[in-house]
Structure 1
Amino acid sequence: MAKSKRFFMYLFLSIAAIVSIFPFLWMVVSSTNKSVDVTRGRLLPGTHLLDNFQKLLDTTDLQLSLINSAKISITTTLLALLIASLAGYGFEVFRSRSKDIVFNILLLSMMIPFAALMIPLYRMFGKISNVFPWMGIDTMTSVILPTVTTAFLIFFFRQSTKMFPKELLEAGRMDGLSELGIFLRIYLPTMKTTYAAGAIITFMSSWNNYLWPLIVLQTPQTKTMPLLISTLGSGYAPDYGMIMIAIVIGTIPTALVFFVMQKQFVAGMIGSVK
């Protein structure tokens, strides 16, 4: 009975794995075929990978879009981890009734859809453009600032901080460390799995961000990878082979980040739930 149960469990998991990975495999295979083969649903690898890649290089500024996405994603991730971890640490370690009220209000902000914030944000950055052009419309700063941290990330760090050994805090204070010193020398190294999980979540979200960059980035020199791919697909006769290889290239950074840090990601997520 146990063997049959295990057999059906592995069978179900295998089917689920195939269903999950099929879109990615189809995308990779399609990047090697001509556009007409992609539209026909060809599932066999072709011989046009280099041709599609060359057309992508000739048609678009791929390198610039990759650099723009990397700058925005890396900067957003670093700032988000710093701000969210400081906030989560402060909300949990220095708890009070007023701080709990502020934290609950912060969580309520997660219920506001981004579509309701787009127009006020655009008007705000439009006015900032007149005073600080480097922070205004069509700048990377205008993409980074609204997404530099989220209520979810602060909540994530606060929940993880609940598992942080309070004895280490007391030991640091007895040794004469300031609260900032305790945060930098004790908290930060101890919570590295939480930082890894937060980094993966933030980097993937920032790299794949499409709606706000579409609104605020208005010149070809500031386009990110999602905007580049969207542009390729909006033509009168889109080249699907070229689009597929662009999607594959755009997927590689997030896949690498996840696979390199997947163990820390799982450990960090489990630690935040306990």
Structure 2
Amino acid sequence: MVKRTFTYVFLSIAAVVSIFPFLWMIVSATNKSVDVTKGRLLPGSSLGDNFNKVMDSIDLVPALLNSAKVSISTTLLAMLIASLAGYGFEVFRSKAKDIVFNILLLSMMIPFAALMVPLYRMFGSISQTLPAIGIDTMSAVVLPTVTTAFLIFFFRQSTKMFPKDMLEAGRIDGLSELGVFFRIYVPTMKTTYAAAAIITFMSSWNNYLWPLVVLQSPEKRTVPLLISNLGSGYSPDYGVIMLVILIATLPTAIVFFLMQKHFVAGMTGSVK
């Protein structure tokens, strides 16, 4: 009884600590800037005023659309490329492929900050011949983050539990390897795709450093860049900033809660 009571008390405290920043953000969005700086923890009556300021003086809608374009494009391409790579590494195993995969995993040890300068120089040189995917384009934001070693590793590990008899049955029925992948593997691994999609979408939506470096036009700013710009003013309006952050959080929260069951199943490695 004592152990169970301690467990519930500990989990309750952990839940409050985890959810408090989000609740404080919601409350702050209803208060004036001066109330936020004072640490007011009660809802105010300035939500309408803050919302009008956001609509009148901040280009929030274009920033949301830019973030949506980048996040959706990155997620769709990452699901295709990472799943194909993970499938290939596991189904067609060889010593050479294992060496390549180990090198791929070692790349996870390199911080992205160390890659920014060579990436920027590469896209700068590309801008001279292919301006559509050069500096200050959405393509330059998407391409370096379109897939990661972690995603490939994630799909390969999930493929280990995929029933290989289904692959053999598809080949016997005359399906090509791509047919087996798209008609058997993809539908069966939907929980893995859901988990990977949530991780990729949230990471892309919240990406700040690389868009800050590669995007130069104000009209192409994503939501994290817009929020950073709001907070760097001489006298930032914290009520407005909190409201913008709250609005920017909603897409990722909606995606997560809609796919929560599939996310849990995918992270635990279940295949249905």
Name the TM-score, length of structure 2 as normaliser: 0.98
Name stretches of at least 5 consecutive residues in structure 2 with no aligned partner. Answer: none
Residue 83 (structure 1) aligns with: 81
After superposition, the C-alpha distances for 1:114-170 in whole angstroms (9 at most, x for unaligned) are: 111101111111111111111011100000000000000000000000000011011
Match of 1:65 in 2: 63
Give a deviation string over 1:190-231, Cα, whole Å, max 9, x none. Answer: 000000000000000000000000011111110000000000
* Cα RMSD (Å): 1.0
- Please list, as runs of the form range in 1=range in 2, the aligned pairs for 1:88-237 lying within 5 A after superposition: 88-237=86-235
Partner residue of 1:271 out of 266, 269, 272? 269
1:55 — aligned with what?
A: 53
Amino acid across the alignment from 1:45: P
Secondary structure (helix, strand or coil) at the match of 1:176 reads coil
Name the SS of the counterpart of 1:66 in structure 2: helix
Residue 133 of structure 1 aligns with an amino acid whose one-letter code is P
More divergent stretch after superposition (5-14 vs 250-259)? 5-14
Q: What 5-or-longer segments of structure 1 have no aligned partner?
A: none
CA–CA separation in structure 2 for the residues paired with 1:163 and 1:59: 52
Aligned to 2:27: 29
4+ residue runs of structure 1 moved beyond 2 angstroms? Answer: none
Q: Which secondary structure state, in structure 1, belongs to the residue aligned with residue 153 of structure 2?
A: helix
4, 7, 13: which is aligned to 1:6? 4
Look up the equivalent residue of 1:137 and give its one-letter code: I
Shift of 1:4: 2.6
Amino acid at match of 1:89: Y
Q: Distance in 2 between matches of 1:94 and 1:249?
A: 45
Aligned AA for 1:268? G
Q: What is the DSSP-based 3-state SS (H/G/I as helix, E as strand, rest coil) of the residue aligned with 1:198?
A: helix
SS, match of residue 47 in structure 1 = coil
The code of the aligned residue for 2:235 comes to A
The 10-residue stretch of structure 1 (173-182 or 195-204) with the greater mean CA deviation from structure 2: 173-182
- Percent identical residues: 77
CA distance in 2, matches of 1:75, 1:150: 15
Which residue number in structure 1 is paired with residue 241 of structure 2?
243
Instruction: Work out the CA distance in 2 between the residues paired with 1:205 and 1:54.
Output: 29
Tell me which residue corresponds to 2:258: 260
What is the identity, as a one-letter code, of the residue corresponding to 1:127? S
In 2, Cα distance between equivalents of 1:173 and 1:120: 43
Instruction: Write the distance in 1 (CA, Å) between the matches of 2:9 and 2:190.
Output: 36
Q: 3-state DSSP class of the match of 2:143?
A: helix
Q: Which shows bigger deviation, 55-64 or 198-207?
A: 55-64
Q: Which residue of the partner structure matches residue 38 of structure 1? A: 36
Counterpart residue type for residue 98 of structure 2: D
Query: Helix, strand or coil for the counterpart of 1:271?
Result: coil
Map Cα deviations across residues 65-122 of structure 1 (whole Å, 9 max, x no partner): 0000000000000000000000000000000000000000000000111111101111
